[in-house]
Structure 1
Amino acid sequence: MNNLLNWFAEPFQYPFMLHALATALIVAVICAILSCYLVLKGWALMGDAISHAVLPGIVVAFLLGIPLTIGAFCAGLICSLSVGYLKENSRIKEDTAMGIVFSGMFALGIVMFTKIETDQHLSHILFGNLLGVSLSEVLQTLFISATIFIVVILKRRDFLLYCFDLSHTRVAGLSPKILHYGLLILLALTIISAMQVVGVILVVAMLISPGITAYVLSKRFDGMLLIAISVSVSTSIIGTIISYHIDASTGPCIILLQAALFLLALGYTRLKNKKI
């Protein structure tokens, strides 16, 4: 028993591990909440598009000497607005527009990154650098996540109605366009927060895995939220601890645990349905 407790407690004797865990937990909660809306809306590819599209914004922000989060946020907005413009002003479908925009912006970001000299390694942006998070970055993540949380709580019913029924949204006197771009802005902010944990490549998994696991296990939205948060928080804690003991990247460890839980949930649901 003592050995098990020591296994859990040992990593958190170091300040950098405490910062990593705090950041992972903050991001885990906000990703879990937003993932429920993204799953219901079918926006998995949109999350992937914005997460890849922020790379050129990060490079430009570095060159201008401004916070990287500002550049990432602006690039995310440009991506979402471009997809909306292509969808509304051409015969191209939304998923095709997303594929064109995010692949083009991601390629642009890689080319720009390879052409500048910087002390930041590309892998930290692509795969996250959770163990290198400073106290100021923890506070920054907390501020962004708190802002997202407050907006989602205040407009949760409006977003839920928008995700379920677009026509009913108009009948209720709400603007689908405002809700659409409002959700995109929240998605871009969440990706910025999660970037430090899992990087731009794996961030879409953290935005989708908790929600899809909860969707498989629950038919009620409140139940989905509770399950998604539980999955996201527990995998973030255990993944951080495992990464310390096996000396592996923290972000991928968290994502692997979330994928494993989804498979378990899917298997459990199938067995339950067969019995019924």
Structure 2
Amino acid sequence: MTAAPLPEPGRSVQVRVPATSANLGPGFDTLGLALSVYDELVVTALPPGQLEVDVDGEGMGDVPRDGSNLVVRSIAYAFEAAGRRMPGLRLQAHNVIPHGRGMGSSGAAVVSGLLAAKGLLSGDVELGPETLLRLATELEGHPDNVAPALFGGLTIAWVDETGPQHKKLTVHRGVSPLVFVPESTMSTSVARSLQPLQVPREDAVFNVSRSALLIAALTQSPELLLAATEDKLHQSYRAQAMPDTDRLVQALRARGFAAVVSGAGPSVLVLADGPGRRLEAAALVSDAVDTPWESLMLAVDVKGGTVREYAEGST
């Protein structure tokens, strides 16, 4: 039997993947939103055994530059799943998504690697949307961040007997996201460890109602966002590890803003019901909060991750 061909040395693909915010308050491990902050990378096939990793931007100096790099591991995972030999790689990454801040940086790295593999394998093995979501979930552990990173928009993610699934929804044009990013970081595993394994029945019912309402608020009725982003499953349990985050969320909500912990934190996501309200939230934080927060006024990304052939000098 003839061995499957390796990607031709010198073949390059360019990948672009958005940041994400998961949970959105009540939608724990289920809801995610793609945001207009992007990691970009160029991946070039080299002869087998060679590996070059160059990282600038977020994580420069901290992100591994060997085979333990999460993007490299994700590429290798996709090649193994496709039954193909891994080529050598040159990876040139420009990272913009903040690391350890609850904006989906690890999910973006996983999706970046899988899309790079998709591009390099194109014409030999086709990795479809369902396969990409399955591989991304296996690598990340849960689909709430990787689904919006792959597909864009607002996503509902769940897992059934056939594997991870998703539904993409269009966000109402009046919804204006704003993310407040602190200097501190938070480990997702630490944040998850603070939650109890069981919650009171009334808290579970509370979150079911708010999650259902949040879908309506984000797609049809942004004026309901404050009520729809109430949560009793995870944010209060994590507050002890992120006191500045908790104070900011409470201060914003007291003024009528739909503020929630972004993912595992410590960033704060505000889902404003219009550009004017978003400016009001930014001004409130600038004037009334001692801890420094970087304000990111963003759009909802509707495309998700993309991959295309890359030629030196192209844009």
Tell me the TM-score normalised to structure 1 length.
0.27
Identify the structure with the greater helix proportion.
Answer: 1
Higher strand fraction (1 or 2): 2
Q: Which fold has the larger relative contact order, with Cα–Cα distance below 8 Å and residues 6 or more apart in sequence?
A: 1
